[in-house]
DNA sequence: ATACAAGTTCAAGTTAACTTGAGGTCAAGG
DNA sequence: CCTTGACCTCAAGTTAACTTGAACTTGTAT
């Protein structure tokens, strides 16, 4: 356990759903920081939970841990804004493609054509796919505590 | 080179943009087939190109190569459509995430706060997105600890 | 016939994001 | 004091999807 200001690794893990091993890994990568030790044991500030949410979100939208780490460093503040708009535009492109693909999949699932290759709409998606390399999230399951 | 009916690996690679090494890898995985050999050299039918597009599409919407391979086998025709719809739903979740992220980025780019993560509106958007996280059933591995 | 570019096999290496294992430390309880 | 459990470190293992390397064979041009 920890005092009322800090969390130990088990508490962070419990609150965030992120395994302790991953928390150590993230710390080693510089994605989160521990604010001290109690003996050997890491102590975290409560805001690490927010940080972890951001990391998870970043991953969900397709950023690598390295990219996420880069976004956390405040040195880049000046170029940040420009970068952000670039990223936003990039994301927007991806969104358009994903929407087309999603619609295509839904269509394909209901399409009466004997083979998908005879379905014009599906062929259209193939063409979209050929043009756009969409960065895709790795569907990862979050270990939820059914803590009730 | 090959005759007018077939393509050699270099031709397939050139037309598809997929490296020869990857084509061999895909063949080993059963994702594509070569229709014979000329000496040692693989010969492919032209429709392998369509197959490759399909593989690329599958990857872009988040299927693993194994899943794609499974979809090519005729046994699974029934679950095919189910899988497609599942992927469409996943994709839709992704789209929601991306939209939130994009909006967050755009806002952050115009937000006066010194760093991205000091912008409350941005954080709020991220938190909303965090809750929209996909809950999935398919559990490959046993539940993780998180000591407690 | 000879050179050589392009094909082949098979094994091992690569990257990302973690997980697992071995071996060690410390606070609390019996 | 001794055990136990949660923590620690560091190294190695894991999975996906390929890539690279070494050593070998073959088609084609000269």
* Inside any domain, residue A59: yes
Residues of chain A above pLDDT 90, percent: 30
**What's the pLDDT band for B24 if we cut at 50, 70, 90?**
very high
**What's the pLDDT band for A99 if we cut at 50, 70, 90?**
confident
The residues pairing with A61 across neighbouring beta strands, listed in sequence order, are none
Chain B neighbors of A80, CB-CB under 8 A: 115-116
Residue B8 vs residues A34, B20, B39, B48: alpha-carbon distances, Å:
57, 10, 12, 11
In this structure, the answer to whether residues B44 and B16 fall within a common structural domain is yes
Strand D contact at CB of residue B40, distance < 7 A: yes
**What's the pLDDT band for A74 if we cut at 50, 70, 90?**
low
Q: How many domains does chain B have?
A: 2
Range of the domain at B114: 81-141
Lowest mean pLDDT among A116-125, B67-76, B129-138: B129-138
Q: What is the DSSP string of B98-142?
A: HHHHHHHHHHHHH--SSSGGG-HHHHHHHHHHHHTPPP-----SP
Is the pLDDT at B130 greater than 70, yes or no?
no
In this structure, the answer to whether residues A87 and A62 fall within a common structural domain is no
Strand D contact at CB of residue B41, distance < 7 A: yes
Name the one residue in this structure whose structure tokens are 């960065």: A135
State whether residue B148 sits within 8 Å of chain A by CB.
Answer: yes
Cβ-contact B98, A91 below 8 angstroms:
yes
**What's the pLDDT band for A15 if we cut at 50, 70, 90?**
very high
CATH number at residue A19: 1.10.1660.10
In this structure, the answer to whether residues A26 and A63 fall within a common structural domain is yes
* Inside any domain, residue A146: no
* Inside any domain, residue A147: no
B88 vs B141, higher pLDDT: B88
Amino acid A134: pLDDT: 53
Q: Please state the rounded mean pLDDT for residues A79-104.
A: 77
Q: State residue A45 phi and psi, 5-degree precision.
A: -80, 155
Identify the domain boundary among B36, B70, B104.
Answer: B70
Strand C contact at CB of residue B141, distance < 7 A: yes
């Amino acid at each position: 356990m920890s005092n009322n200001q800090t969390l130990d690794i088990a508490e962070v893990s419990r609150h965030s759903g992120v395994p302790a091993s991953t928390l150590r890994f993230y710390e080693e990568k510089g994605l989160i920081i521990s604010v001290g030790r109690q003996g050997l044991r890491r102590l975290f500030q409560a805001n690490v939970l927010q940080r972890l949410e951001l990391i998870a979100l970043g991953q969900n939208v397709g950023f690598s841990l390295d990219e996420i780490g880069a976004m956390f460093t405040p040195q880049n503040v000046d170029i940040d804004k420009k970068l952000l708009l670039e990223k936003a535009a990039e994301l927007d492109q991806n969104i358009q493609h994903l929407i087309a693909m999603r619609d295509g999949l839904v269509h394909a699932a209901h399409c009466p054509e004997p083979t998908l290759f005879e379905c014009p709409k599906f062929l259209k998606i193939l063409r979209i796919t050929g043009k756009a390399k969409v960065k895709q999230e790795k569907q990862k399951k979050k270990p939820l505590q059914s803590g009730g």
